[in-house]
Structure formats: C-alpha cells, structure tokens
Chains A and B, each alone.
Chain A
Amino acid sequence: EPEVTQTPSHQVTQMGQEVILRCVPISNHLYFYWYRQILGQKVEFLVSFYNNEISEKSEIFDDQFSVERPDGSNFTLKIRSTKLEDSAMYFCASSYTDNEQFFGPGTRLTVL
C-alpha cells in the first residue's frame, strides 16, 4: 500500500540553524500539507500546497518557514533560523482530493 515517507526521522539542531525536513508524498496525490505536533498536544496545521503554490498557511507559518516541491516526488519544509519553540514532531500529509489526508511517520525536530 502506498504511503507517505519522511526523512530524517529525528533531527537535532542548534538554535539559529537552518533545517530542511523532507517528505515523499503518495505518488498520485495532488495536495500536500505540513502539520506539527508539540509533545502531548494536538496536531496543528502549518501549510497546504497545491499546483506548485501555497494554498493556505497558518499563523505559525511565518517568514522563517518555506515549502518547496523541487521535483515530481519530494516536498520539503525549511525552517530558516530555528528557535527553541520549533521543537516538535513535523508531519507531512498528502491527499488526492483535499479531503482524506494521509500522514507520514513524522520528523522529530529537537532545537537545542
């Protein structure tokens, strides 16, 4: 069964460093998303992406964040200058219809 994959599974970085989180969505899906989940809390929307552009973003997704689909298979989230409060699980999701969203296993980001 096709699934969303994410790399790395765990990323440790120093405050102020740039990180890139990578995702390979399900191959025939058209809609792509990033969510994050701070430990013990609910999943929060960051950004949605369709037709090579951002379709919606949350207040969390400020100028420090960017997304890219550099080729036909990868979808990346970049955090330009990480802060301590960026520590969280980051989930990529994809959907064929913008309804049922399928999530990847997540990247645990730890900012020291």
Chain B
Amino acid sequence: GQQLNQSPQSMFIQEGEDVSMNCTSSSIFNTWLWYKQDPGEGPVLLIALYKAGELTSNGRLTAQFGITRKDSFLNISASIPSDVGIYFCAGPYNQGGKLIFGQGTELSVKP
C-alpha cells in the first residue's frame, strides 16, 4: 500500500540554523500536507500543497511539492526554540479523504 517515508528521523540543531526535512513515497500523491505536533497535542496543519512543483511559504516555513509528485520537502529558516516538535507529512490515500502519515521528523532546537 501507499507509504510515506520521512527523513531524517530526528534532528538536533542550534537556534538560528536552517532545517530541511523531506518525505518520499513510492506512489504518486495529488496533495501533500505538512503538520506539526507538540507533545500531547493534536497535529497542526502548517502547509498544504496541491500542484507538482508548487512552492509555498508560511512565515519561516517553506514547502515544495516535488515534480515527480512522489516527494515533498519542508524547510524552516532561522529556527527558534518553539519550532521543537514532530513534523509529519501526510497525503490522501488513493485520492480519497483518508490521510496517510509519515513516521515524523522530531526536531530539537538548542537555544
């Protein structure tokens, strides 16, 4: 079935550094969603991507929908301590409403 693979699994960075994480799939997705989850909280939607090649920003966050429609990346510029959390990519299974989630990238930011 469709699976999303995220890398890296975890990152430890210094405050102020830029971060890049990505998500790949063996099959095509028509939508890519990036969520952030804080401990004990629900996922919060950060960015939604709908077209191959699309590059979308939300403040210090930038995400791109890969040309092959099988990957997406998320960049965070000038990281701050509140960026700490787990970042999940997600996409609709078989173009339906059911979302498939990646296993997450855990970000730690050292002040």
Binding site for B on A (CB under 8 A): 4, 6, 31, 33, 35, 41-45, 48, 50, 55-56, 58, 91, 95, 98-106, 108
> By CB atoms of chain B within 10 A, which of A44, A45, A48, A106 has the most?
A45
B-chain residues with CB within 8 Å of residue A106 when the two chains form the complex: 40-42
Least CB distance from B7 to A in Å reads 14
How many Å lie between the Cα of A32 and that of B40 in the bound state?
21
B25 at the interface (CB under 8 A from A): no
Known contacts A99-B31, A99-B48, A99-B92; is-contact A105 B101 (Cβ 8 Å): no
How many Å lie between the Cα of A22 and that of B44 in the bound state?
19
Binding site for A on B (CB under 8 A): 31, 33, 35, 40-45, 48, 50, 88, 90, 92-93, 96-104
How many Å lie between the Cα of A26 and that of B111 in the bound state?
36
Question: Which of B48, B96, B103 is A100 in contact with, Cβ under 8 Å?
Answer: B48
How many Å lie between the Cα of A50 and that of B33 in the bound state?
21
Evaluate contact between B101 and A43: CB separation under 8 angstroms: yes
The chain A residue sitting closest to B100, CB to CB, is A45
Question: Which of A6, A50, A103 is B43 in contact with, Cβ under 8 Å?
Answer: A103
Please give me the 8 A-B residue pairs with the lowest Cβ-Cβ distance, nearest first: A103-B42, A98-B97, A43-B101, A45-B98, A48-B97, A42-B101, A105-B42, A103-B43
Question: Which of A44, A100, A104 is B42 in contact with, Cβ under 8 Å?
Answer: A104
Question: Which of A44, A58, A102, A105 is B45 in contact with, Cβ under 8 Å?
Answer: A102
Known contacts A56-B96, A95-B97, A98-B97; is-contact A103 B103 (Cβ 8 Å): no
Given contacts A41-B103, A91-B43, 5 further A-B contacts (CB under 8 A): A55-B97, A95-B97, A102-B45, A103-B44, A105-B41
> By CB atoms of chain A within 10 A, which of B48, B88, B97, B99 has the most?
B97
How many Å lie between the Cα of A88 and that of B3 in the bound state?
21
The chain A residue sitting closest to B103, CB to CB, is A42
A-chain residues with CB within 8 Å of residue B35 when the two chains form the complex: 103
Least CB distance from B70 to A in Å reads 19
